[in-house]
Amino acid sequence: MPSETDSKPDFELPSEEPTERDFSVIWHSLPFPRLLLDRLNREMERLTKEGVSSHTEARQLAKEKIEEELTEEEYQNILAEIQSRPPRDSMMPPPAMMDAKEADPVFPPEVH
C-alpha cells in the first residue's frame, strides 16, 4: 500500500515555463529606469488619446502592456541598470556638507 510520500518524486524537474518576473523591483525603483521611461510615457499618452478615463488607469494599463511585451533580454537589461546604481544612502552628502542647522539642532533654553 503506497503512502502519499511514495507517489511524489524526491526532486522536481525544472519547469519549461519561464520563471515569473518580479516587476515590482522595476516599477518601484527611483529614479525610474531610463530604458522604460519613454516607453511608459508613450503608451500612457496613446491610452489617454484613446479615451482612458484617468491617469491612474492609463498608467496601470500601460504597465500591464509593457510587462506582456517586454522580452527577457530587455527585462534583464533593466534589472542590470537598477543594480548598477549606487545605494540610495551613498547619494546623501556627508554630514560635513550639510547645513549646520540640520547637523546640530538647537534646543530652546529651559524655563526654571
> Tens digit of pLDDT for each residue in 82-101?
888 876 655 555 555 555 55
Mean pLDDT of 97-110: 57
Cell triple for 94: 556627508
Quote the pTM value. 0.56
User: Does residue 98 lie in a domain region?
Assistant: no
User: Does residue 111 lie in a domain region?
Assistant: no
Domain span at 63: 21-84
Tell me the Ramachandran region of residue 29: left when phi exceeds 0, alpha when psi lies from -120 to 50, beta otherwise. beta
User: Does residue 13 lie in a domain region?
Assistant: no
User: Does residue 5 lie in a domain region?
Assistant: no
Q: Which residue has the higher pLDDT, 75 or 13?
A: 75
User: Does residue 57 lie in a domain region?
Assistant: yes
User: Does residue 54 lie in a domain region?
Assistant: yes
Q: Residue 53 in 3-state DSSP? A: coil
What pLDDT was estimated at residue 54?
93
User: Does residue 33 lie in a domain region?
Assistant: yes
User: Does residue 49 lie in a domain region?
Assistant: yes
Cell triple for 89: 544612502
**pLDDT tens digits along 36-76:** 889 999 999 999 999 998 999 999 999 999 999 999 999 99
Number of domains the chain is built from: 1
Q: Which residues contact 30 (CB under 8 A, 6 or more apart)?
A: 88
**How far from chain centre, in Å, is Cα 97?**
30
